[in-house]
Amino acid sequence: MGDRAGAAGGIPENARAHGSTCMSRPGLLLVAAVVLVANAFVLVRVAQNRSATVQEMELTERELSLQFAGPENSRIGLVLNWIDATAPWYWPWGSGQPTTQAGWLNEAKLRELGFDVSTPANTPEADLKYSHVFPRDAFVVLQYEGPEWEAWIKKREQEAEQRPSNLPGSDPRRMSHLIAIDVGRDPTALRQRYPEKQRFLIVRGVVRLFYQKVWHEQQHRLSDKGFLRGQIEVTNREIHVPLPHTSPLSSLPGNGSSAPRYVVTLRYGTRFEPWVAAVRRL
């Protein structure tokens, strides 16, 4: 009777504990092996990407904003900011009405990217047909300043002049100076089209197809007709800052400065994944 005390099903306590330890050891080894393989995969991937620099550009705080994380903000990262002039723009003092045209990321460009746009956008079937379309991987061309960026700035400044006097102002020139101007499936073809690496950055992204209803100005409502437009999402936007490059950034307060406070040398490798090569204060 005394031998059964503190045991379950007649198994002594020390035997159960020993069995539990033996059973858990293979599991721990498996977990360790998975971690090692995952780390090795990441290191190989990074090495492949950095085996060659395919493009390099200096960008300021406007394009690469600070992001702190971890205990006492011990980890420093950057977020790539850019402008999509084709997206519906709801400026704080704007009308809030949807755009009436697709811009350059239109039906023809969506067809080039491989989207099925065979159903005409002005038919009743279009709304249902294009309501759930899978996105497509693509490469996005970001231009630093240039005529497209200036046109976007001018439009924002014109809207600012029409804002109510009780709304605060905001200078669009303080925003990113990178603007999306093209997309494609082949980065080599895009680089041939935009050879100036100091002006044109080619990055990985995703394009989504949207069916946009047209705004009926007279009736102040969405009409029954629509058009197709694309929307861009740049991937790999969050960029880790290696410890050797953190000192110029670690003492800076959060975002909100009226002028850029630093310049970052950003490099992209063979896999079009970015890394920080240098940081300097302005």
Mean pLDDT by 10 residues, the chain (282 residues): 44 49 68 75 72 92 86 81 78 48 90 96 89 96 96 85 62 91 97 96 96 75 82 94 92 76 96 95 94
Q: Identify the pLDDT of residue 92.
A: 40
How does strand 55-60 pair with strand 262-268?
antiparallel
Same domain, 8 and 147: no
For 80, 87, 201, the CA distances from 181, given in Å and listed in that order, are 16, 12, 10
Same domain, 15 and 118: no
Q: Identify the pLDDT of residue 11.
A: 47
- As for how many domains the chain has, the answer is 2
Same domain, 33 and 167: no
H runs (alpha helix) in 162-231: 187-193
Same domain, 40 and 163: no
Q: Identify the pLDDT of residue 96.
A: 47
Q: Identify the pLDDT of residue 93.
A: 38
For 92, 95, 157, the CA distances from 215, given in Å and listed in that order, are 19, 12, 23
Same domain, 143 and 272: yes
Same domain, 166 and 243: yes
Same domain, 16 and 156: no
Which helix H or strand E contains 224, and what residues bound it?
strand 221-234
Q: Identify the pLDDT of residue 100.
A: 62
Name the nearest CA neighbour of 100 among 119, 83, 86: 86
Task: Using the structure block, give the residue that is written with the tokens 């420093």.
Answer: 76
Q: Identify the pLDDT of residue 262.
A: 96
Same domain, 85 and 35: no
Same domain, 40 and 67: no
CB 65 within 8 A of CB 255: yes
Same domain, 30 and 116: no
Same domain, 200 and 116: yes
Same domain, 277 and 188: yes
CB 273 within 8 A of CB 52: no
Residue 42, domain extent: 2-49
CA 239 to the chain's CA centroid: 10
